[in-house]
Amino acid sequence: MSDGPDQLSPADMSSLLAERGPIHVHVGGTAIFDGEPPDFDRFCAHVEERLELIPRFRRKVRHLPGRAMRAEWVDDAGFDVRRHVRHVALPHPGTDAQLRELVGQVMSEPLDQDRPLWQLYLIERGAPGSGKGFAAVSKTHHALVDGISAIDVGAVILDPDPEGSDLGLSGERWSPQTKRTDQLLAGRLEDASRKVLGMSRDATRRMLDPSAPRDASQTALRTAQGFFDLARNSDPVKPTFLNEEIGRDRRVAFASTTLAGMKRAAAQHAEGATVNDALLAVSTGALRRLFLARGEPIPSEFSALVPMSIRKPGEELALGNRITTLIVPLPLDVEDPDERLRRIHETTSRLKKSEAARAASIVIEASGWVPPTMSRVIGTVGGALSPVRGVMPQRLPWNLVISNVPGPSIPVYLLGQPLRSIHPFVALSPQKRALSIGAISYDGGLHFGLVGDRDRLSDLDVLASFIDEELEAIGAGATAT
């Protein structure tokens, strides 16, 4: 039996409401493995066993009557793992292009909000003995997992040992916990003393945390200044071909390099530069090449929203999103790769020290500091800045999202077969954002996942090739020594 229901935070509630029309609010990844694919029945049994580690993945959303902006995670009494785990075999010859096409189709469909908000696909790439390996594609709603902590079904099915891991699982048959709706409502009464203008338990704990600032007035002043800094430094972007109306269908593309190469390139080209700085510089150079290849004018102003984790140690399993962001100007008009990297490093160093970053984290987290009525207009990361009327601009101040998250630093395995690479899927949001770029580190590699609107970016694979060229240009290519 699992724990009782958990209330959705306003931010997570808003991400459910944001999913309409062409906007899909799910994240995920494509994990590519060497070796033969596991038997599907064995795979399903493995997934179901590991769900004991993430009980929320057997939960669905229940809306509370008379509370339009309140909902609970409750156990799905009819949960069946085979409604969430799918088996697909690519047609011969099972190429990388065929895999990417299938992933794009999978990610074009929204998740069913009447069931637990995730899916997992086991994809065979060739006949037994073909040596093509296989893939596993995970798709999880943003409200369920934020993509930063990466504690989801795609993570818990992996092991650091090819022989598997003794995780101390009970092996007991799962049974749902049910409560009548009036009991759910009554359970909320215990939180009344903690809630003022929608303040959540998490917000209350932050206020009482001895590591938090003691002087509330100084905290308020710094936060207010941060809002104004964020507004002043984040003018609405000028639209490009990447900022037109999008449709519901997606396409994906992949690229890879070595983490050591990225670290070396960052250190060589700009003192104190980070891997994330190098990643932003590579993305900037690739985008510049794409604009030129399309015959589009190079924009003098172009910005990326760059999410960052603000989770504390031990919070990885908590429901609710804990992220902040930087809005980073990208110098597409700079031709020299070294100069691009230097400028980006200078910019990110300055932004990380600003109160604007703190303000963005408070607005975007929206789990305790934003009244529930305000969260109607908060989407996911993309929509979270717009509701601060009179301070924030009505048009959003970035052209795309670029995300970089850490993955396992050691080899991992799925039922004995080694993971070769994993490529993240970062949702397109809000509506006029036709491209997102994600990256994840794994076992000495850095792997890119590009997501584009299917119609607007038919040349997404060209952009992926430009990333490869930019990696070589700064000495961080996969073959660089």
CA angle 44/45/51 to nearest 5° reads: 90
- The verdict on pTM exceeding 0.85 is no
Provide φ and ψ at 445, rounded to 5°.
Answer: -110, 165
Match domain 230-401+443-473 to its CATH number in 1.10.10, 3.30.310, 3.30.559, 3.40.50. 3.30.559
Identical fold, 6-184 and 230-401+443-473: yes
Q: Report whether pLDDT(438) > 80.
A: yes
Return d(Cα 415, Cα 459) in angstroms, integer: 36
Q: What share of the chain is helix, strand, coil (3-state, %, to 5)?
A: 35, 20, 45
Q: What's the order of all strands across the beta sheet hosting 445-453? A: 250-258, 445-453, 435-442, 400-405, 303-309, 323-329
H runs (alpha helix) in 75-166:
96-107, 153-156
Please give the pLDDT value at position 128: 78
The helix (run of H) or strand (run of E) holding residue 73 is strand 71-75
Q: Report whether pLDDT(204) > 80.
A: no
CA angle 256/258/263 to nearest 5° reads: 125
Structure tokens at 1: 């039996």
Residue 122, helix vs strand vs coil: strand
Parallel, antiparallel, or unpaired: how do β-strands 323-329 and 303-309 relate? Answer: antiparallel
**What is the 3-class SS of 159-181, one letter each residue?**
ECCCCCCCCCCCCCCCCCCCCCH
**Other CB atoms within 10 Å distance of the CB of residue 240:** 20
Return d(Cα 285, Cα 160) in angstroms, integer: 36
Domain ranges of the chain: 6-184, 230-401+443-473
Q: What would the pLDDT profile of 29-83 be if each residue is shown by its tens digit? A: 999 999 999 999 999 999 999 998 888 899 999 988 766 668 889 999 999 999 9
Find residue 60's DSSP bridge partners: 74
Structure tokens at 248: 């519901």
- Output the CA torsion sign for 43, 49, 50, 51: positive
Return d(Cα 257, Cα 301) in angstroms, integer: 28
- Which fold is adopted by the domain 6-184? Chloramphenicol Acetyltransferase (3.30.559)
Tokens 């930087």 appear where? 326
Q: What would the pLDDT profile of 261-273 be if each residue is shown by its tens digit? A: 999 999 998 889 9
CA-derived radius of gyration, the chain: 22
Tokens 């079904």 appear where? 153
Query: Between residues 231 and 344, which one has the greater pLDDT?
Result: 344
The helix (run of H) or strand (run of E) holding residue 421 is strand 417-425
Please give the pLDDT value at position 66: 66
Best-predicted range by mean pLDDT among 42-46, 167-171, 194-198? Answer: 42-46
* 289 within 8 A of 466, measured Cβ to Cβ: yes
